[in-house]
């Protein structure tokens, strides 16, 4: 996987677009990763989009679980917290 800077993306658009289209890459800004790119085409676009969404949901779920563990919550307690959050959200609507 290649690393591509935001500066490269702006200044060498054609070359960078060709690179990104052939293989995945990591987009960086000030040396820090900010995005991943994956090549797609008409044949796999929807599949890749769905997989990316699932990966995002999984990452968010794991992040919430870790935060709950840091607070000392057990899985049952976490479920109660979710119910409270949803109830508060309904009230705000």
For 44-84, write each residue's pLDDT tens digit. Answer: 999 999 999 999 888 888 888 888 888 887 777 777 777 88
pLDDT category, 2, cuts 50, 70, 90? Answer: confident
Tracing tokens 């676009």 back to the chain, one arrives at 45
- pLDDT, tens digit (0-9, with 9 covering 90-100), for 78-89: 777 778 888 888
Residue 45, pLDDT score: 93
What is the model's pTM? 0.58
Rounded Cα gap, residues 57 and 51, in angstroms:
10
Pull the structure tokens for residue 26: 């990591």
Tracing tokens 């990316």 back to the chain, one arrives at 52
Task: Determine the 3-state secondary structure of 35 from DSSP.
Answer: strand
Task: Decide if 4 contacts 16 (C-beta within 8 A).
Answer: yes
């Amino acid at each position: 996987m290649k690393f591509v800077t935001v500066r490269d993306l702006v200044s060498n658009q054609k070359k960078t677009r060709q690179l990104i289209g052939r293989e995945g890459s990591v987009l960086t800004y000030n040396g820090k990763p900010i995005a991943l790119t994956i090549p797609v085409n008409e044949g796999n676009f929807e599949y890749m989009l769905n997989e990316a969404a699932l990966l995002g949901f999984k990452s968010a779920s794991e992040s919430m679980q870790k935060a709950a563990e840091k607070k000392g919550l057990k899985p049952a307690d976490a479920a109660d917290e979710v119910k409270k959050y949803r109830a508060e959200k309904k009230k705000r609507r």
